[in-house]
Amino acid sequence: MIYLPVALFYFIVAFLLAILEIQIEGRYGWASRLPTWRPEPGSLVSRLFGRIMGGKPATGYHLILFSFVLLLFHWPYVYGWPLTLSNWLRTISLFFSVVVLWDFLWFVLNPAYPLKFFQKETVAWHKKWWGRIPLDYIFGLSVSLVVLVPLLFLGYGVEPLGWWLINNSLFGLLTCLVVILSVWRRLNKF
DSSP string for residues in 141-173: HHHHHHTTHHHHTTT-TTHHHHHHHHHHHHHHH
- Domain interval for residue 43: 4-187
What pLDDT is stored for residue 112 in this prediction? Answer: 87
Total of domains in the chain:
1
What pLDDT is stored for residue 182 in this prediction? Answer: 87
What pLDDT is stored for residue 165 in this prediction? Answer: 97
In the Cβ-directed half-sphere of 123, how many Cα atoms lie within 13 Å?
Answer: 24
pTM of structure? 0.92
3-state SS class at 47 = helix
Q: Are 30 and 65 in contact (CB under 8 A)?
A: no
pLDDT in tens, the chain (190 residues): 578 899 999 999 999 999 999 999 988 888 889 899 999 988 999 899 888 888 888 899 999 999 999 999 999 999 999 999 999 999 999 999 999 999 999 999 999 887 888 999 988 888 899 999 999 999 999 999 999 999 999 999 999 999 999 999 999 999 999 999 988 877 777 5
What pLDDT is stored for residue 190 in this prediction? Answer: 59
Give the contacts of 7 (CB within 8 A, at least 6 positions apart).
Answer: 166, 167, 170, 171, 174
What pLDDT is stored for residue 44 in this prediction? Answer: 92
What pLDDT is stored for residue 84 in this prediction? Answer: 96
CA distances from 75 to 12, 88, 149 (A): 16, 11, 24
Q: Are 107 and 178 in contact (CB under 8 A)?
A: no
